[in-house]
Amino acid sequence: MKHVISPLDLSINELAEVLDLANEIYENPQKYSECCHGKKLATLFYEPSTRTRLSFEAAMLNLGGNVLGFSSADSSSAAKGESVADTIRVVSSYADICAMRHPKEGAPYVASTYSSIPVINAGDGGHNHPTQTLTDLFTIKKLKGRLDNLTIGFCGDLKFGRTVHSLINAMVRYPNVKFVLISPEELQIPNYLRTEVLDAKNIEYKEVKNLDAVMPELDLLYMTRVQRERFFNEEDYIRLKDSFILDLQKLENAKPDMLILHPLPRVNEIATEVDDDPRAVYFEQAKFGVYVRMALIMKLLNITV
């Protein structure tokens, strides 16, 4: 049995297999429509979600399986003080696989140590979000045609943005990938990513405060929202929340084939006027998340068609 807590829990070959299977499912969904008949996915969400929870549920339903779960800590026995360890022991006897989102970093890992079914981390605090990373990788490969030889700009809240941390961890495994990290000083990437990942692997990167100046260099621009829920005080959030707002004027200097990604939800960091630009692929990215999660569920349940 395998759990997916970090994107690095999948080898580069396993990652490629999941992405290839997701593409096969995307091309021919009908072929896979009954392959999880009789299987159940539990969605244990202790923190709000639209895309991740619903795309996991859509994924299992599309595979002919069933879903059960809760969408907030308040509607589960966590509100009465039940531990994640006890919850997963019980859920292991109700479902075949589970996706867990939790505000505490490491909670899905703890769950995996008590679980007798595969646990997928659906986002833990500011730490990791591996299925968003799979979705991002699928989007880049499908729309850009490659995962190597790319200059990727990450813009916004790089301190708390778990999707950024996960994607950096995944992308450093591909050749000639460079990073441009665009954020206010207070929202720069955590130091462990700088020292243990980027510096340790001799990855080319720079940290800047101005998006306009670096825009022409980028093959991909990964925008993120400032994560209000992870700030210790509201004043800091208000001061930093409008640090970067991408609009059509800012895009004038971008490459004609640069892709704009965003894990969503968006607040105001991408003006809605950008949505109709052919480079804006964030809604397509969210759609791809269903196929990637279908592929991951099949792999973890050892289901082949």
In whole angstroms, the minimum distance from the beta carbon of 53 to ligand CP comes to 6
Distance CA 178, CA 67 (A): 40
CB of 199 to ligand CP, least distance (A): 28
* Candidate list 80, 201, 272, 304, residue with the active-site label: 80
Annotated active-site residue in 3, 40, 53, 101: 101
- CB under 6 A: which stretch of 92-100, 179-187, 239-247, 260-268 binds ligand CP? 260-268
Q: φ and ψ at 20, to 5 degrees?
A: -65, -45
Distance between CA atoms of residues 35 and 17, nearest Å: 17
Under 8 Å CB-to-CB from 126, ≥6 apart: which residues? 105, 159, 160, 161, 162, 165, 190, 227, 230
Tell me which of 5, 180, 264, 292 binds ligand CP, using CB under 6 A. 264
Is 101 among the residues known to form the active site? yes
Q: Which of 128, 68, 66, 118 is nearest to 92 (CA)?
A: 118
Task: Give the range of 36-44, 48-56, 241-249, 270-278 binding ligand CP by CB under 6 A.
Answer: 48-56
Binding mask 210-249 for ligand CP (x = CB under 6 A): ----------------------------------------
Q: Are the C-beta atoms of 7 and 277 separated by less than 8 Å?
A: no
Peptide bond into 265 cis (omega under 30): yes
Q: Taking CB under 6 A as the criterion, which residues in 95-134 touch ligand CP?
A: 123, 132
Q: Which one among 39, 51, 159, 299 touches ligand CP, defined by CB under 6 A?
A: 51
Say whether residue 69 binds ligand CP (CB under 6 A). Answer: no
In the set 52, 87, 151, 163, the catalytic residue is: 52
Looking at this protein, which amino acid is placed at residue 199?
D
Check binding of 49 to ligand CP (CB under 6 A). yes
Whether residue 37 lies in the annotated active site: no
DSSP state of 199: I
223: three-class secondary structure by DSSP: strand
- Minimum CB separation of residue 162 from ligand CP in Å reads 9
Is 72 a binding residue for ligand CP by CB under 6 A? The answer is: no
Is 194 noted as a catalytic residue in this protein?
no
From candidates 5, 263, 282, 301, binder to ligand CP by CB under 6 A: 263
Nearer Cβ to ligand CP (115/163):
163
Instruction: Retrieve residue 122's tokens.
Output: 């659906």
Give the C-alpha separation, 282 to 143, whole Å. 12
Catalytic residue, from 40, 51, 241, 262: name it.
Answer: 51
Q: Give the Cα separation of 121 and 206 in Å (integer).
A: 29
Closest distance to ligand CP from the beta carbon of 6 (Å): 16
Residue with tokens 């990855």: 203
Which residues have CB under 8 Å from 280's CB, separation 6+? Answer: 260, 270, 274
Structure tokens at 148: 């190597």
| Residue placing its CB nearer to ligand CP in the complex, 156 or 205 | 156
Residue 52 within binding range of ligand CP, rule CB under 6 A: yes
Structure-derived torsion over alpha carbons of residues 261, 220, 147, 56, reported in degrees to the nearest 10: -10
For residue 82, what are its two tokens?
């039940």
CB closer to ligand CP, 57 vs 96:
57
User: Which among 46-54, 103-111, 269-277, 296-304 is the span making contact with ligand CP, rule CB under 6 A?
Assistant: 46-54
User: Which residues have a catalytic role annotated?
Assistant: 51-52, 80, 101, 129
Which residues would be at the binding site for ligand CP (CB under 6 A)? 49-52, 123, 132, 263-265
